[in-house]
Structure 1
Amino acid sequence: MVGIILASHGEFAKGIMQSGSMIFGEQENVAAVTLMPSEGPDDFRAKLKEAIASFDSQEEVLILADLWGGTPFNQSNTLFEEHKDKWAIVSGMNLPMLIEAYGARLATESAQEIAAQILNSGREGVKVKPETLEPETTGNTPSASDNVSNAGTPGSFEYVLARIDSRLLHGQVATAWTKTVQPTRIIVVSDDVAKDKLRKNLIQQAAPPGVKAHVVPVDHMIKLAKDNQHFGGQRALLLFENPQDVLRAVEGGVPLKTINVGSMAHSIGKVQPNKVLAFDQNDIDTFKKLEKAGLTFDVRKVPSDSKGNMDEILNKAQQELNKVK
């Protein structure tokens, strides 16, 4: 896996690393290297070498630096010169860029390929309000909002994916699934997240280029699903934290046919029949209700995975729960 260095003046690198973990989950082979006020270039270079040496492999390294020409960049560049056939440096580090890099590591082992891929995400992450302050674009360069420009067209959402994932919008969704189903909107459906301004803002910022991200309560999603006047041509990817919210949405009238089951986090009182799915009795009962409602289950983390058998997984979970009763 490509190693990633986050290099900054002060503790910016540590902060953005923490933010990235909140959205994408804890990451291996990632290190924050900071230049503190009492330190000089040699100190930073020593810390940089130590961080890179901690990676499983030093062959492919991507360095995200805060400022072109600053000490973190310059010292990183001296090491880069010795590995310019494999390594890469990108300056102007921001959160959309970091999230894209995390996701890209799942698909490529090349630091330079990741560097090329994350440039657009970093640039698209720079926006302004009021929108009138945005400079006018010229030529035929597409903007991030081009594929949602038909908002308001008569019609209803087309649901290209509905997914249960306790991590909601993270790299597997923002890269693999988005590229496969090509939504124009990602909608996180959760009462809890809709009330949490920080999580809501982070999710909206993590949307891949060209896709709008929204966070709505379950009842509001039900209202949106019944609106056949404003969402024609809109391809919606729905994200749910748990099966209970899916059941509420379906019973309320959201016309879902298949649920992708990607991740359900373990917590006290739950059993874990496989690496990524954990259940309590309420979860099992809810999935059975969804099945009775006519829904089918697509058990995969990413599109390239083979599909799991939900009946077998639920039966195993039930057996494990019965043992601990």
Structure 2
Amino acid sequence: MVGIILASHGDFANGILQSGEMIFGKQENVRAVILMPSEGPNDIKGKMKEAIASFDNQDEVLFLVDLWGGTPFNQANGLYEEHKNKWAIVAGLNLPMLIEAFASRMSMNTAHEIAAHILNTAKEGINLLPEELQPKTPEPATAAAKPSNAGAPGKFKYVLARIDSRLLHGQVATSWTKTTNPTRIIVVSDVVAKDELRKKLIQQAAPPGVKAHVVPIHKMIELAKDDQHFGGQRALLLFENPQDVLRAVEGGVPLETINVGSMAHSTGKVQPNKTLAFNQDDINTFIELKKLGLKFDVRKVPGDSKDNMDEILKRAQAEIKKRS
């Protein structure tokens, strides 16, 4: 696996590593190296050497640095000179770049490949509101229209169905999208479908190249039965709670596995693990889903190990009984 060094002036590298792992999951062979105000070039160079020595594979190293021409860049460049046929440096570190680098290590084996690949994502991650402030880039007159399979005969292919009380957020828009490669993200919720502000925010949170939609449950059931317009479309479905999943499945949405990622705690609920909270209705609903043949994939992010849903439900049920 390619080793990654995050290098910065001050604690920026530590902070962005924490943010990246919060979204994508804990990473191996990644080190943050920082230059403090009281330190000089040799200090950060020594830290970089120590970080490289800790990697499983020291032949493939990617430096992600904060500023081109700054001391972290210059010291990384000095080390890179002796390994330029293998190592790589990318400056202008931002969170989309880092997450893309994490994802790329799953399929790319060289620092050069990853460095070339992450540039577009880093640039696309820079955006602004209001949209009218965005510079207009005219399309070349000779540019051909991008081919689309929208409207082709066939049904959706479901690449992920997830229960997450936060719906479309960083972990979904980055790590799960990179893993499942959907063409559409569909939030299935009667409540959210009536909330114009939440709908707009969800549509704006869609990652580049993926369309985000919000539909009520009855509409999702209709879409699932449509075999004339969704050929080639890969759908990632998001639900706020298991009750909405049960209604969708009973109505005919052909799901086989539910990723259970996050269920927020609220009054009256018990919390058998760090990310999931249940009341009795939630427990009963999961039991009904199991009776319908659904399997449960209990993970916050793709890199997490899977938890046992049966054991989680047992602990939740025992905690509820204690309180009654």
Partner of 2:84 in structure 1?
A: 84
| CA contact 2:283–2:317 (8 Å) conserved in 1 | no
Residue 73 (structure 1) shift = 1.5
Q: Secondary structure at the match of 1:57?
A: coil
1:221-245 Cα offsets, whole Å, 9 max, x none, are: 43763787xxx65653113476445
Q: Secondary structure at the match of 1:31?
A: strand
1:29-50 Cα offsets, whole Å, 9 max, x none, are: 2222223333332222122222
Residue 116 in 1 paired to residue 119 in 2?
Answer: no
| CA contact 2:2–2:109 (8 Å) conserved in 1 | yes
Equivalent of 1:222, from 208, 217, 221? 217
1:245-272 Cα offsets, whole Å, 9 max, x none, are: 5225546x5x52114344657998648x
Residue 64 in 1 paired to residue 64 in 2?
Answer: yes
RMSD of aligned residue pairs (Cα, Å): 4.8
Residue 204 in 1 paired to residue 205 in 2?
Answer: yes
Distance 1:177 1:162, change over 3 A: closer
Residue 260 in 1 paired to residue 257 in 2?
Answer: yes
Distance 1:315 1:13, change over 3 A: closer
Partner of 2:135 in structure 1?
A: 133
Partner of 2:2 in structure 1?
A: 2
Query: What is the letter of the counterpart of residue 204 of structure 1?
Result: A
Partner of 2:162 in structure 1?
A: 164
Distance 1:136 1:62, change over 3 A: same
Q: Secondary structure at the match of 1:133?
A: coil
Q: Secondary structure at the match of 2:7?
A: strand
Normalised to the residue count of structure 1, the TM-score between the two structures is 0.66
Distance 1:17 1:316, change over 3 A: closer
Partner of 1:290 in structure 2?
A: 289
Residue 28 (structure 1) shift = 2.2
1:32-87 Cα offsets, whole Å, 9 max, x none, are: 22233333322221222222233333222211122222222221111112222222
What are structure 1's unaligned runs of at least 5 residues?
A: 272-276, 302-307
1:169-208 Cα offsets, whole Å, 9 max, x none, are: 1765222311xxxx3222456889x9xx9xx78x937x3x
Query: What is the letter of the counterpart of residue 217 of structure 2?
Result: I
Residue 22 (structure 1) shift = 2.3
Distance 1:70 1:289 in 2: 58
Normalised to the residue count of structure 2, the TM-score between the two structures is 0.66
Distance 1:142 1:117 in 2: 23
Give the greater-gyration-radius structure (CA): 2
| CA contact 2:220–2:253 (8 Å) conserved in 1 | no
Identity of aligned residues (%): 48
Residue 127 (structure 1) shift = 2.6
Distance 1:62 1:142 in 2: 35
Query: What is the letter of the counterpart of residue 13 of structure 1?
Result: A
Distance 1:59 1:165, change over 3 A: farther
Query: What is the letter of the counterpart of residue 125 of structure 2?
Result: G
Distance 1:317 1:34, change over 3 A: closer
Equivalent of 1:174, from 169, 172, 177? 177
Query: What is the letter of the counterpart of residue 238 of structure 1?
Result: L
Distance 2:212 2:51 in 1: 34
Distance 1:100 1:211 in 2: 16
User: 5 Å matches for 1:238-253?
Assistant: 238-240=237-239, 243-247=242-246, 249-250=248-249
| CA contact 1:65–1:92 (8 Å) conserved in 2 | yes
Distance 1:322 1:289, change over 3 A: closer
Length, aligned pairs only: 294
Distance 2:4 2:142 in 1: 34
1:92-112 Cα offsets, whole Å, 9 max, x none, are: 222211111111222233222
Distance 1:247 1:49, change over 3 A: same
Which deviates further from its counterpart, 83-92 or 314-323? 314-323
Distance 1:291 1:323 in 2: 19
Distance 2:260 2:95 in 1: 23
